[in-house]
Amino acid sequence: MNQRRALVGLLADGEPHPGEALARGLGVTRAAVAKLVRGLAGWGLSVESVPRRGYRLSAPIDLVDPARLAAALRPATRLRLDRLEVVDELVSTNARLMAESDLAAGRGRVCLAEFQSAGRGRRGRVWIQPFGSGLCLSFAWSFASAPPAPGALSLVAGIATLRALGRLGIRGLALKWPNDVLLGGAKLGGILSELRLEAAGPAYVVIGIGLNVRLSPEARAAIAAAGGLAPADLSAGVAPDRTQLAAALVEELCAAVSQYEKQGFAPFDAEWNGADALRDRPVRVQFRDRAQDGVARGIGADGALKVEIAGRVETLSSGDVTLRAVA
């Protein structure tokens, strides 16, 4: 564990900690503590200096516990995973898993980072999430052959995410095609699926999921400035335990992708349409070079979007367009 991460652990309770106590706990000087505190800004964390009481985080952090996460998974799920990794910082969890190619068919792999220095969303957008403020989790799965309706993978992951959140009693959730998880109409999370196909051979998918658990005002402002939907988080009332949330998400992703591999998207179709935030609502479809208004008409059996434009229902894939509700 590096010293910056160790400092976060000491400050995680959100209470003031004297500089002398922090220096003893880290085995460094007071000056080194001050330098480490300044460095926490690189993880998007805000630290306050409380006169005569020391340093404290502007809000407590619930750190993911790797041992407790592994123990929370059912034995059948653990047997399907050849690695369950929790790290402090990565450029991108999706990039980490996409760089690998040694996963056997029918097996999964999980990478969770407390902070991503270059997290990505759909169409190259930046995913903003300070250290420990949400979940940055990627799930890899190796298919024996090309999966049915590969464009539906993000939708399957969306259903798995809603199931995981529902386990923890979170209500008011919806999905916005193709990859947004909504809470009360605001964006709680996003999904990025990447697929690598081998000629006449196996297929490898990495599904990245970012969920906001507790966002600071500064993080909310940064997300709003980047454009898109207003952010939501799970801090209303008592925020869920992040380790339990991660375990539920891994369980549901593993079960959903395994079912999808055997049965395709059909078992998920009704559930997705029931959670569709835009079904039968006016929408604006942004193509590469133009925009058109229409009415969302749900999704097809392959996960493609159906939009009625000028009296004609068109079928659109997620790679073609972006979608916005029209007030």
Q: What is the pLDDT of residues 137-170, one digit of tens each?
A: 999 999 988 887 888 999 999 999 999 999 999 9
At 153, the amino acid letter reads: L
Question: How many percent of the chain have pLDDT more than 90?
Answer: 70
Q: Tokens 């999964």 map to which residue? A: 108
Into how many domains does the chain fold? 3
Report whether 254 contacts 80 (CB < 8 A): yes
pTM: 0.91
Is 46 in the same domain as 29?
yes
Residue where a domain stops, chosen among 31, 57, 83: 57
Q: How confident is the model at residue 79 (pLDDT cuts 50, 70, 90)?
A: very high
Is 233 in the same domain as 300?
no
Q: How confident is the model at residue 13 (pLDDT cuts 50, 70, 90)?
A: very high
122 carries an active-site annotation: yes
Task: Give the Cα separation of 257 and 141 in Å (integer).
Answer: 8
Angle at the Cα of 136 (from 130 to 138), degrees rounded to 5?
160
Of 49-58, 203-212, 275-284, 285-294, the poorest mean pLDDT is in 285-294
Identify the pLDDT of residue 57.
93
Of 7-21, 198-212, 307-321, the poorest mean pLDDT is in 307-321
Is 78 in the same domain as 50?
no
Among left, alpha and beta (phi > 0; psi -120 to 50; other), residue 234 is alpha
Of 38-52, 67-81, 108-122, the poorest mean pLDDT is in 108-122
Active-site residue among 5, 78, 107, 122? 122
Identify the pLDDT of residue 59.
85
Report whether 44 contacts 134 (CB < 8 A): no
Helix (H) or strand (E) holding 242: helix 242-263
**Residue 51 structural domain:** 3-57
Is 109 in the same domain as 127?
yes
Task: Give the Cα separation of 90 and 251 in Å (integer).
Answer: 23
Q: How confident is the model at residue 325 (pLDDT cuts 50, 70, 90)?
A: confident
Nearest residue to 251 (alpha-carbon basis) of 105, 21, 120, 81: 81
Is 173 in the same domain as 244?
yes
Report whether 108 contacts 91 (CB < 8 A): no
Of 96-105, 194-203, 288-297, the poorest mean pLDDT is in 194-203
Is 32 in the same domain as 146?
no
Q: Tokens 């049965």 map to which residue? A: 263
- 239 CB contacts (<8 Å, ≥6 apart)? 62, 213, 214, 233
Of 93-102, 221-230, 284-293, the poorest mean pLDDT is in 221-230
Is 154 in the same domain as 227?
yes
Residue where a domain stops, chosen among 229, 247, 273: 273
Among left, alpha and beta (phi > 0; psi -120 to 50; other), residue 190 is beta
Is 74 in the same domain as 201?
yes
- 193 CB contacts (<8 Å, ≥6 apart)? 153, 154, 157, 179, 205, 206, 207, 208
Nearest residue to 94 (alpha-carbon basis) of 132, 127, 61, 134: 127
State CA 38 to chain mean position distance: 27
Task: Give the Cα separation of 208 and 121 in Å (integer).
Answer: 9
Is 81 in the same domain as 188?
yes
CATH number of the domain where residue 321 is located = 2.30.30.100
Q: Residue 215 above 90 pLDDT?
A: no
Identify the pLDDT of residue 322.
81
Q: Tokens 């835009």 map to which residue? A: 278
Identify the pLDDT of residue 220.
85
Is 256 in the same domain as 300?
no
Active-site residue among 109, 163, 176, 187? 187
Is 298 in the same domain as 180?
no
How many H helices and E strands in the chain?
10, 14
Average pLDDT, the chain: 90
Residues 80-138 pLDDT 10s: 999 999 999 999 999 999 999 889 999 999 999 999 988 665 555 667 888 999 999 99
Is 290 in the same domain as 264?
no
Residue 44: phi and psi, rounded to 5, are 80, 15
CATH number of the domain where residue 170 is located = 3.30.930.10
CATH number of the domain where residue 13 is located = 1.10.10.10
